[in-house]
Chains A and B, each alone.
Chain A
Amino acid sequence: MDNSQHIELLSKKISQHSDQQAFKELYLVYFDRLYKFAFSILHSAEFAEEAVNDVFLNIWQKRSSLKNIENLRNYLFISTKNTSFNYLSKFRKERNTTLDDVLVRFEIDELTPETAFFTNEVRNEIEQAINQLPPKTKLVFQMAKVEGLKYKEIAEILNISVNTIDNHIATAIKKLSIVLKDLSTEETNLILFQLFTRFKLNNSIINQI
């Protein structure tokens, strides 16, 4: 549902006709990702939700100027970041919060048996390894993986260069590969072998994922 033409249409309906239904749809399209993004900064379900609602309250109140926003998705993420940072500043009783102050916690969701490529032990190891990385790296990794954002978008949202994003992702992947190398066992080799043959067969499809 996150297709830019559709989002543009929603945005138009909201700004020109105060269309509440379109507003609700926009909210439901982005809630999940914005909430997770806010949660990774705030570590509180309540405040993450509050932050997302702050952002949308503002969208609704300023709906007439929505047409001036070029990329609504980035705008939503940037607003969520700023709002979350403001909350953090309040908690820390300091005026400013920068990316370096953010304690990001990376988590992989519980694996269901059907999708369990990794055992939960491996999952914990990976989580631990990622969580040893600097906060900024973790946040960038999370945004790319979980929120599915492009480097360019992350760069715009966090106000850092695409090169820096590239470096952060490379650092995270390097770390991952070290953990995975250490963890490789007979068992994973076997699964991997099966998977690999399947991948090879469907290579063209896989590349499109």
Chain B
Amino acid sequence: MDTIWSIIGKNLEGNISPDEESALNEWINSSTTNKQVYFQIKELWYHKQDQTNNSQAIAAYDKLINRIKFAEVIQSQSRVQRISSQVNQFVKYAAIIFFFISFSFLSYYYITQESSKNEFCTISVPKGNKSEIVLPDGSKIWLNNNSKLTYPKNFNQSVRQVELIGEGYFEVQRNVKVPFIVKTSDISIKVLGTKFNISAYPNDKFIETTLISGKVTVQSNENPEVISTLNPGESMTFDKLNNRAAIANVDTKFYTYWMKGEFVFKDERFETLAKRIERIYNVEIVFDDPTLKEKTYTGDFKVDDNIYSILEIFKRSTSEPIEYITDRNKITIRKK
């Protein structure tokens, strides 16, 4: 009699022999209770369990893809770096070619249109790139990613003035007669001939001016009053909200290494770092928990490093467990 349960099981599995089938039919037809029980079991068996919804599977798949990417980075760090730097290399070459094309175009424009004054040239560097520019007076400027430099076509004649949105490192050709002025949203930096770095991104609270060598004076845009004079090794942080400036002695390499494709920081707040990472990798970083923004880090990265390996280092070096969730270009950082 016990075998009937086994036969029902095989029937449900769909693997029943003719002999077993007739035994089953006999059993089913021998009593109403049997009939009832059989059909209830069958109903229960075929009662479809809900499918987990597809969005769960897709979300899980996205997590898997992140793990795969990360595993590839870890597995052969150097190899992957080479591959990713090949990609970066491509972007670099594309940027250089683009730069030469636009530069020759601009020079052509410059030569042919020299007569027309008050016209401006603008050089924009998209997110995730950087660019090197030589101005007509021989001054060199390295523009960091997501930055824009505008200068007049009659540059060099009576005034050397450029406008900067974003970050740039300047090596200004010395010319005592014609001062070089960098205008940012709130302040202007006036120099004769020096090396310095300015970070003036519209979304940042501060404008930072760091002097490597020479001398600069900083003026407010609103009124021509001199805010301050900087000496080499000094960095001025200008608070755009309350128009206040603070000067500190700094290690200038933390401000200029981006030119070499390095990303160096010391006791920097996570929020500020996130802003920089956003610009380098063209991503958006969101903090799920505001207290995470206040954590500070010291370290350095190569800009060529894969963003996942960088995020992973943050994950490991934070005292409490954090995790990051990526959704296309958006990265959410939260406590685990």
Contact = CB atoms under 8 A, between A and B. Distances in A.
A52 B40 contact: no
B5 A173 contact: yes
Contacts of B49: 36, 108-109, 146
Contact of B2 (A174, A181, A199): A174
Interface in A102-156: 108-111, 115, 117-118, 126, 144-146, 150-151
Contacts of B63: 49, 53
B41 A173 contact: yes
B263 to A, nearest CB: 29
Nearest to A169: B9
Interface string B35-58: 111011101111111111010111
A56 interface: yes
Interface stretch (B10-18, B88-96, B134-142): B10-18
Contacts of A108: 44, 47, 49
A28 B36 contact: no
A99 to B, nearest CB: 19
Interface of B: 2-3, 5-6, 8-10, 12-15, 33, 35-37, 39-41, 43-52, 54, 56-58, 60-61, 63-64, 67-68, 71
Given A109-B49, A170-B5, A174-B2, A27 B61 contact: yes
Nearest to A29: B57
Contacts of B37: 177, 180-181, 184
A37 B140 CA distance: 63
25 contacts: A27-B61, A28-B54, A28-B58, A31-B60, A32-B51, A35-B60, A36-B52, A49-B63, A53-B67, A108-B44, A108-B47, A115-B48, A118-B40, A150-B13, A151-B15, A169-B6, A169-B9, A169-B13, A170-B3, A170-B9, A174-B5, A184-B33, A192-B39, A192-B40, A195-B39
Interface in A158-208: 166-167, 169-174, 176-177, 180-181, 184, 188-189, 192, 195-196, 199
Interface of A: 24, 27-28, 31-32, 35-36, 49, 52-53, 56-57, 60-61, 108-111, 115, 117-118, 126, 144-146, 150-151, 166-167, 169-174, 176-177, 180-181, 184, 188-189, 192, 195-196, 199, 209
Contacts of A146: 49
A168 to B, nearest CB: 9
A146 B44 CA distance: 11
Given A56-B64, A57-B68, A176-B44, A184 B58 contact: no
Given A53-B64, A171-B5, A174-B2, A199 B39 contact: yes
B61 to A, nearest CB: 5
A31 B50 CA distance: 13
A80 B68 CA distance: 18
B328 to A, nearest CB: 16
B67 A195 contact: no
Contact of B13 (A36, A144, A167): A144
Where chain A touches its partner, the secondary structure class is helix
A184 B32 CA distance: 11
A177 B52 contact: no
B36 A184 contact: yes
A150 B50 contact: no
B65 to A, nearest CB: 8
A32 B48 CA distance: 13
A118 B44 contact: yes
Contacts of A28: 54, 57-58, 61
B57 to A, nearest CB: 4
Contacts of A52: 60
A32 to B, nearest CB: 5
A196 B39 CA distance: 8
Contacts of B9: 144, 166, 169-170, 172-173
A130 B43 CA distance: 16
Contacts of A56: 64
B67 to A, nearest CB: 6
B6 A53 contact: no
A170 B253 CA distance: 75
A170 B4 CA distance: 8
Contacts of B2: 170, 174
B6 A189 contact: no
A115 B13 CA distance: 22
Given A36-B49, A117-B43, A173-B41, A53 B60 contact: yes
